[in-house]
Amino acid sequence: MPRVSKQKACLLKNSYAKGHTSVMMGKSFGYESSVVQRSFVRLPGDDYQDRISQLDEVLTFQDVDGSSTSAAPLRPRSRTRSRIEEYTNPESGKVHPDLLTNKIYRPLELGIMFNTEIRKHIEDTSCHGFLMIDTANSRNWGFGSSERLKCDSCSYVSPYYRLYEELETGKRGRKPAKINVGLQTGLMTTPISNTGMSRILAHANIAPPNVSAMHRAAGKVSKAMVALNEKDMHDIREKIKQDNRLCGLKDGTKVNVEGDTCYNNPLFNSGGHTPFQGGTIAVTTMCENNTRSKRIIGVHVANKLCMVASRLRNQGIAVDCPNHDGKCTANMSETDVIGNEEKWNEQVARKINTDLNIASFTGDGDSKGHSGVDKAQVQQTVHFKDLRHLGNSLKRAINKAQFSSGMFAGPASKRANFQNRFALSIRARCMSELTRAHKKYKGNIKEIENHMPKVISSIILCYKGYCGAYCSKHSLACRGSAGGKNKAKLYLPENCKLKIAISDEALLKTCIQIVLGPESIGSTRLQTSTQKCEAVNRAYQTAMPKTVTFSRNCTGRIHSTILKLNHGLADSAIVKSEFTGAHLSKGSRVIAYLLKSKHNDMLKKTCAFQRRRKAARYLARKRRYALHSEIHYSKGLTDPKPDFSDISQLNDHSYS
């Protein structure tokens, strides 16, 4: 027997004998095919870059769950032409494409050019072809341009004509166009930047000027606006001094002012971008309270932004604003405190003191602006509280007050809504009582202070449901049951009854005394507020929105806006155009538009219009609060809330 290897012997031992039938014979088995049906995709170049991803060093397409798809990417096709590239070639070769765009010309010069050249063309060549503007060889100067005419039948070409008006500067070099200066003057009071203006022109099928040239023109106009407004505020202060003497004031140099500061960014939230305060531009404004116009007589713009310093710091060069070489637009260091309202108010007060002496200062009470005014004054300044901020303090105090659980009926969410509406009603009632008391007693503080305890008692009884004889006798805003509806604004639901306990009465009385207490009555005896400054701060946002940073021209935009607020849009446009030399044409449609805008502004300031606006705002707020209470709004609950119950000693630091 031949020798068998161990491997073959093992196979013979474990194999089936000849003729053996397998137990698995005849049974069928199902197998899932593991072969993936792959497809090959060749995408355009742009789509390929958007879709391609790399997984395990293999280029593939990614599914929404993060896995790779069955499609295999091939080398991309050439990039598809964009819509703008399709417009690079003109539609017709006969007409130059710039002849189909819009352009700004002065009609006078345009008429002179055509009439002169048509006659000259016929006399010189006896050709009767059409003269067209040679737009291929235009000489643009911002929005202005110099054009020449050429004949479509012969070789006649006219000399260049300047189709804009130049501004006489008395200096060497090319003179600026009045249209360029006028455009930058108008942009100073709008939120539109030079880049935004270029985009608007492109959509209007007008070739935009060079943006860098527009920036240079804006810088010159910005300096002119600062100089003009500083002179104008000086003239306003001098006029106040003259009117004070004519009106018989004891001291003609005295003026009552109100002041406030606004910022381009919130100070309390920098978003983690800087350890300093978030604001980079601070504008401090002071308005006079001697007249009803409440004109702006002083302003200071604190600016941390400097493009040159920022570029040098990115290159590793240590610079300190505003003392570095080159053009620096910042007037304070990067490490200075932007929220130092004491310093800003002191600087504005010193400017005012060159012409007037501040007799009283009304501030919002949440800053050190009062102390800044005191530092700039030789004489003592009286400090008044802002009525509007006092009312807001009253509202916040009532919202935070721990009234009894039975005072407001309903569930917790509904009680919070009722308490907020109750705070609005109390604030409106107190402000109405104080205003009517000053009117009844003609500003006699002693009589007002003696009457206010009875008024406070009548308010508490009125909201307890005992609105009757006591209200009709002592309240100045509620007629009681005999007078029907309450004169003051009501935000509570109809037929709402409050269960005011004795402890609630004492707590409510303490809150009401924030506005109607003896100390508050004395500090608000002139009924002044910072509402004018608040309105000015909102007007600043029309020229300097928070989404756009005008680091170089922010000061000019602020001063230009002040001119508009002090004189109105129409008159300020005339003053600015005369100062810059870009005069407006008398009797033109431009003047008609400005006159119409002035009429509309005056209409909005009438008493009847203001009453309608206030009534509409009150009804809208009342309706929204009623709607809110109906739907029982609850805050969004999608974000997970961490549980800190197991963590001990988790308390905030005390900074008091």
The full DSSP string for 86-118 is: HTSS-S-SSS-GGGGSB----HHHHHHHHHHHH
Measured distance CA(333)–CA(337) in Å, rounded: 9
* Cis preceding-peptide flag for 322 (omega within 30 of 0): yes
- Which of 120, 113, 116, 167 is CA-nearest to residue 142? 167
For the chain, the structural domain boundaries read 39-73, 212-386+528-584, 390-523, 586-630
Q: Which residue in 171, 196, 197 sits closest to 183, CA to CA?
A: 197
> Does the reported pTM lie above 0.75?
yes
The torsion defined by the Cα of 283, 287, 292 and 293, in degrees rounded to 10, comes to: -50
pLDDT-derived band at 638, boundaries 50, 70, 90: very low
Residue in this structure with the two tokens 């100073």, named with its chain if needed: 188
Does residue 198 have a pLDDT over 70?
A: yes
Collapsing DSSP to helix, strand or coil, 247 comes out as: coil
Residue 539: name the closest of 251, 188, 206 by CA.
Answer: 188
The SS3 assignment for 351 reads helix
Beta strand residue intervals within 375-492, DSSP E: 382-385
Q: What angle do CA 138, 140, 146 make, to 5 degrees?
A: 60
289 — pLDDT class (breaks 50, 70, 90): very high
Q: Which residue has the higher pLDDT, 82 or 349?
A: 349
What angle in degrees, to the nearest 10, is found between the helix axes of 445-464 and 502-516? 150
DSSP category for residue 68: B
pLDDT at 486 over 70: no
Strands 281-288 and 254-263: antiparallel
Inform me whether the pLDDT recorded for 397 exceeds 70.
Answer: yes
Going by pLDDT thresholds of 50, 70 and 90, the confidence category of residue 190 is very high
**282-306: average pLDDT:** 95
pLDDT bin (cut points 50, 70, 90) of residue 17 is: low
Q: Helix, strand or coil for residue 166?
A: strand
Q: Which residue has the higher pLDDT, 37 or 234?
A: 234
What are the angstrom distances between the C-alpha of 211 and each of 180, 194, 198, 217, 509? 12, 7, 7, 10, 62
User: Of 505, 519, 419, whose CA–CA distance to 458 is shortest?
Assistant: 505
Looking at 544-606, list the stretches that DSSP marks H as alpha helix, in order from N- to C-terminal side.
554-580, 589-604
Answer whether 530's CB lies under 8 Å from 258's CB.
Answer: yes
- Counting beta carbons within 10 angstroms of the beta carbon of residue 134, is it exposed (0 to 12), middle (13 to 18) or buried (19 or more)? middle
342-356, 454-468, 531-545: least confident range: 454-468
Contact 370, 363 (CB under 8 A): yes
Contacts of 497 (CB under 8 A, 6+ apart): 409, 465
How far is C-alpha 608 from the chain's CA centre?
A: 29
Report the C-alpha gap between 444 and 423 in whole angstroms. 28
Which of 345, 232, 225, 230 shows the shortest CA–CA distance to 282? 345
What is the pLDDT confidence band of residue 656, given thresholds at 50, 70 and 90? very low
Range with lowest mean pLDDT among 18-32, 244-258, 507-521, 582-596: 18-32
> If phi over 0 gives left and psi between -120 and 50 gives alpha, with beta otherwise, what is residue 558?
alpha
Residues 579 and 557: their CA atoms lie apart, in Å, by 16
Distance CA 641, CA 653 (A): 22
Long-range contacts of 538-544 (CB under 8 A, 24+ apart): 539/564, 539/565, 540/262, 540/283, 541/191, 542/189, 542/190, 542/191, 543/188, 543/189, 543/190, 543/191, 544/191, 544/264, 544/281
In this structure, the number of other CB atoms found within 10 A of the CB of residue 451 comes to 18
d(CA 95, CA 104): 20
What tens digit of pLDDT does each residue of 63-76 get? 898 888 889 899 99
What is the mean pLDDT of the segment spanning 146-155?
A: 92
Please, are residues 61 and 54 in contact by the beta-carbon 8 Å criterion? no
Share of the chain above pLDDT 70, in %: 90
Report which residue type is found at 144: G
b/e burial code for range 343-370 (CB count within 10 A of at least 16 → b) = bbbbebbbbbbebbbbbbbbbbbebbbb
Least confident range from 223-227, 469-473, 489-493: namely 489-493
Higher pLDDT, 491 or 244: 244
pLDDT, position 649: 45
Burial bucket for residue 9 (CB in 10 Å: 0-12, 13-18, 19+): exposed
The answer on pLDDT for 78 being more than 90 is: no
Residue 384, helix vs strand vs coil: strand
**244 phi-psi bin (left φ>0, alpha ψ -120 to 50, beta other):** alpha
Judging by DSSP bridges, how do beta strands 139-141 and 58-61 pair with one another?
unpaired
The neighbour count for residue 298, using CB atoms within 10 Å, is 28
Quick check: 551 pLDDT over 70? yes
**Residue-level pLDDT at 650:** 42
User: Nearest 10 degrees: CA dihedral of 121, 125, 128, 133?
Assistant: -40
CA atoms lying within 13 Å on the CB side of residue 472? 10
Q: What is the mean pLDDT of residues 377-396?
A: 90
Q: Are 218 and 543 in contact (CB under 8 A)?
A: no
